[in-house]
């Protein structure tokens, strides 16, 4: 099987997905705006060939280059894969141009355009927040009235909580509007108060082969307010508790309504205090912020391999058992500039012992990330434990006792 993979070297987890595809026996052909020589080692070893293009977002030019290379080398692609949010539209256009199965452009819009997404789910009778799309400041003001405060304003196409704001009043709305000048269109929607969860799946042929539910202990929108926050998310061991039943049912209904068939999905949903379940949003890609690794640690499974087998062979072969609740805790640098010290790490690792699944800390001297612009945390610590409350306590210890300092 020949697979064209968009951006096999970036973001950071893409080389692992490229490597997993190659391990299934597929020939992986990469395409990106970087030369093959600059790919991370894992990606460079995984690809059979790599096509460098000048501008990865010039869809017409990229499609033309790919078709030229196919004719020149006599290669036919069986699948086109992209697990990076900005490249989803390009992947869809390539599938349509080359006659390759998978999500076309219209279907992809249901996972990229938040307004299209919600309209399609509204038509299927699923509960979404009240919403409208706005392209001007006056439209945002006009839609805010019927929706009511508090409300959320966020980009129509985007990932994570970048340029997303909770707005509690007309005065706050006016203070936020100047910050949205660079965003082409936004979704204005009802703010849902409740616990926020994920519903993550790997599918093949429309069948769910793997699923995960994670709890955002720190809501993504809250993470953007304070630098000192250590964002944490816990992959839950027991998915059969009644509190999760509505969200899991909603997740399956969403996949059916949007016609998803093969690959990874990452959905976010809310459970209100009265038990009502409300859809948040969904993407046809894996979760970011190292949540895939947390899922792996929870079940001692390899989801990179699981995804690759699903899209190449339509199957899941790994035995797995949810043994743990697994938390990923992000650690942001205090201060700006470059990393100058990491405090409390050795003591915490010594005291928590086998409950630490993995640690990823920045090098001393590395530049600190810009948390205000939605950059990932500078470091990550993974903890796990069979008991949920104990896992929560472990995550709190990491958040409290480890510091990354910059300056």
pLDDT, tens only, 323-375: 999 999 999 999 889 999 999 999 999 999 999 999 999 999 999 987 766 55
Q: Is residue 158's pLDDT more than 70?
A: no
Residue 206 has pLDDT above 60, yes or no: yes
Extract the tokens encoding 90. Answer: 């390009």
Q: Is the pTM of this model over 0.85?
A: yes
Q: Which residues are paired to 329 by β-bridges?
A: 232, 381
For the chain, give the mean pLDDT.
Answer: 93
Mean pLDDT along residues 167-173: 92
pLDDT tens, 106-132?
Answer: 999 999 998 899 999 999 999 999 999
Q: What number of other Cβ atoms are within 10 A of residue 242's Cβ?
A: 7
Render the burial of 213-236: b for 16+ CB within 10 Å, e for the rest: bbbbbbbbbebbeeeebbbbbbbb
Topology of domain 2-102, per CATH? Rossmann fold (3.40.50)
Higher pLDDT, 211 or 145: 211
Tokens read off for 100? 């390759």
Handedness of CA 181, 185, 190, 191 (dihedral sign): negative
Q: Looking at the predicted structure, is the pLDDT value of residue 161 above 60? A: no
Annotate 235-284 with DSSP letters as a single string. E-S-TTSHHHHHHHHHHHHHHHHHT--SEEEEEEEEE-TTS-EEEEEEES
pLDDT band at 402 (very low <50, low <70, confident <90, very high): very high
Check residue 159 and give its pLDDT.
56
What class has domain 130-190? alpha beta
d(CA 125, CA 135): 26
Q: Domain 215-241+282-406: give its CATH code.
A: 3.30.470.20
Model pLDDT, residue 173: 92
Q: What is the pLDDT of residues 370-389, one digit of tens each?
A: 776 655 789 999 999 999 99
Cis peptide, bond prior to residue 131, ω within 30 of zero: no
Query: Quick check: 160 pLDDT over 60?
Result: no
Best CA proximity match to 255, nearest among 205, 308, 298, 195: 205
**326 bridge partner residues:** 235, 384
The kind and range of the H/E element at 319 are: none
Residue 386 contacts residue 325 (beta carbons within 8 Å): yes
Could you state, in order of their start, the residue ranges of all structural domains in the chain?
Answer: 2-102, 130-190, 215-241+282-406
């Amino acid at each position: 099987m020949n697979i064209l993979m968009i951006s096999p070297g970036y973001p950071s987890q893409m080389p692992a997905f490229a490597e997993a595809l190659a391990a299934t026996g597929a020939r992986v052909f990469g395409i990106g705006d970087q030369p093959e020589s600059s790919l991370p080692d894992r990606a460079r070893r995984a690809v059979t060939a790599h096509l460098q293009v000048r501008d990865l977002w010039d869809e017409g030019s990229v499609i033309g280059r790919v078709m030229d290379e196919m004719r020149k080398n006599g290669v036919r692609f069986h699948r086109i894969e992209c697990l990076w949010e900005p490249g989803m539209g390009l992947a869809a256009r390539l599938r349509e141009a080359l006659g390759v199965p998978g999500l076309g452009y219209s279907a992809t819009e249901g996972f990229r355009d938040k307004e299209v997404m919600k309209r399609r789910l509204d038509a299927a009778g699923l509960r979404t927040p009240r919403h409208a799309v706005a392209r001007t400041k006056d439209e945002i003001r006009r839609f805010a009235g019927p929706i009511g405060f508090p409300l959320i304003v966020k980009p129509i196409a985007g990932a994570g909580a970048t340029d997303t704001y909770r707005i509690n009043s007309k005065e706050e709305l006016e203070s936020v509007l100047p910050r949205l000048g660079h965003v082409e269109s936004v979704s204005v929607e009802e703010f849902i108060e409740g616990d926020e969860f994920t519903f993550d799946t790997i599918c093949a042929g429309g069948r769910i082969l793997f699923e995960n539910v994670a709890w955002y202990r720190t809501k993504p929108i809250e993470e953007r307010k304070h630098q000192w926050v250590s964002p944490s998310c816990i992959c839950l061991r027991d998915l059969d508790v009644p509190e999760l039943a509505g969200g899991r049912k909603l997740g399956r209904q969403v996949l059916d309504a949007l016609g998803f068939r093969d690959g990874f999905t990452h959905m976010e949903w809310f459970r209100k205090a009265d038990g009502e379940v409300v859809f948040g949003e969904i993407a046809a890609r894996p979760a970011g912020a190292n949540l895939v690794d947390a899922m792996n640690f929870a079940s001692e499974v390899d989801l990179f391999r699981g995804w690759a087998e699903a899209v190449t062979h339509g199957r899941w072969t790994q035995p797995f058992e949810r043994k743990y609740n697994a938390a990923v805790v992000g650690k942001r640098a205090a201060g700006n500039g470059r990393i100058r010290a990491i405090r409390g790490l050795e003591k915490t690792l010594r005291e928590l012992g086998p409950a630490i699944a993995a640690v990823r800390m920045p090098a001393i001297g590395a530049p600190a990330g810009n948390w205000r612009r939605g950059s990932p945390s500078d470091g990550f610590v993974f903890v796990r434990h069979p008991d949920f409350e104990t896992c929560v306590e472990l995550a709190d210890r990491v958040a409290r006792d480890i510091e990354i300092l910059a300056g």
